[in-house]
Structures are given as structure tokens and as C-alpha cells.
Amino acid sequence: AQSVSQHNHHVILSEAASLELGCNYSYGGTVNLFWYVQYPGQHLQLLLKYFSGDPLVKGIKGFEAEFIKSKFSFNLRKPSVQWSDTAEYFCAVNAAPGGSYIPTFGRGTSLIVHP
């Protein structure tokens, strides 16, 4: 079965600091990976996704994530965070064959950025 771990549950940064949120998954086969973001009072929306090709994926608002197959990781990064990046971030994985097409989500990371 597929699973996702997000090790940082709460992250607090000052504006302009660099961000890296960890995401590790457990599944040995083909995976598609996603990062979703939930801004305060808003619904979940896609930040970026990886399904094949270049393992460095760029998303909206300056975010990027790198898929490292050997480490089963898909960490989210941003060089310089802004106050508006305050949100909950969720990593998710789809896996096949043998896994589930139903995305499995991590527990989420709460990011607070102080101005």
C-alpha cells in the first residue's frame, strides 16, 4: 500500500527565508506526486505535480519540488517565502500498478510566515 509522510508538521519562518518541506512516500512502483496548498479560508488547490520527465517541477508562486526516486522523496522548496505563503501544505501520491489510483495524502504541514 502507498503511504506519505510529511515530517514537518509546523514551520514558522520570517519573510525572505528559504523554505523546504519534506515529503517521503513508500511505494516501489511508478508514482505520480502532488503538492496541494490550502490558504486560510480557502479550498485546497494544486501547487504542482510530477508524473514523468524532468524530476525538478516548477509550480505556481515560485514553488518547486524535486522528485528523487532513490530517496522516495518529493520535497517542496521556495527560495524566498512571503507572508502570503502562510497556508497548509499537503503532499499526495498516486501509485500504480498494484497501488491505488486514489491519492493518498500526508498529514499536512502548517506554514506560518511572519512579515
Distance CA 59, CA 51 (A): 13
| Residue 104 touches another protein, criterion: CB under 8 A | yes
Torsions phi, psi for 61 (to 5 deg): 60, 30
| Residue 24 touches another protein, criterion: CB under 8 A | no
Give the chain's count of helices (H) and strands (E): 0, 12
Smaller CB separation from another protein, 17 or 49: 49
How many C-alpha atoms does 84 have within 13 Å on its Cβ side? 4
Interaction residues for another protein, span 40-79 (CB under 8 A): 42-46, 49, 51-52
| Residue 94 touches another protein, criterion: CB under 8 A | yes
Q: CB 37: neighbour CB atoms within 10 A?
A: 21
Smaller CB separation from another protein, 17 or 22: 22
Binding site for another protein (CB under 8 A): 9, 30, 32, 34, 36, 42-46, 49, 51-52, 90, 94-96, 100-108
